[in-house]
Structure 1
Amino acid sequence: MSTTESFKLHEMLEADTVFIKDLPLCRLVLMNNANHPWCILIPRVEDVVDIYQMDWQDQQQFLNESSMLSEVMMQLFGGKKMNGRCTWQYLPQLHVHNCSIRAGY
């Protein structure tokens, strides 16, 4: 894995989240949002803004960590659907949102 010791969370994510844990590839944070259980995974890889820029091992690990997080959140929060999406149009740091949807979908 290509995680770096010099990893720095983007200041917008830093301001709006609470640190939970560093996984093998990603930093796991909780979004400061009382309406939904909303976690974010950020690969600790420098200069990556899209998944294809990571090597294939990191891409697979990213998928594994995202899937694991989705499963745990569904078990904890009893959602009907997991909303997981990669979002980078506002931030130059790759991150994926995982939010458990309780209502209909």
Structure 2
Amino acid sequence: MKEREKIKEDELKLKELEMRERLEMEKLKIEMVKEERNSKVQSKSDYFDAAKNIRLVPRFCEKTVDKYFPQFEKIARNLNWPKPYWTTMLQSVFEGKAAEIYSALPSEKKFRL
């Protein structure tokens, strides 16, 4: 009789271990699915926030135009700014004659990078 009880007890322990293992596997699967969803959401939401980056655009100075554009380009490349946004970023800091000239250009003539 005691031997049967021992066997039953061992079987129950084994079943309990199997259930715990299954539960652990299910938890891991759920975590993997969550991580996968998060990575998909991040890739979909990877957009360029111009408002957030505008403060990184160097101040424009008409006296140093020859140095300004290479400096801007270096910053834009280092920060991986998408090229279609470069003109938006640039025009936001134009002052004086540069701002006048840019605003006077017809939309189709405004430079594209």
TM range (shorter): under 0.3
The structure where helix makes up a greater share of residues is: 2
Larger Rg: 2
Q: Which has the higher strand share?
A: 1
TM-score by length of 1: 0.24
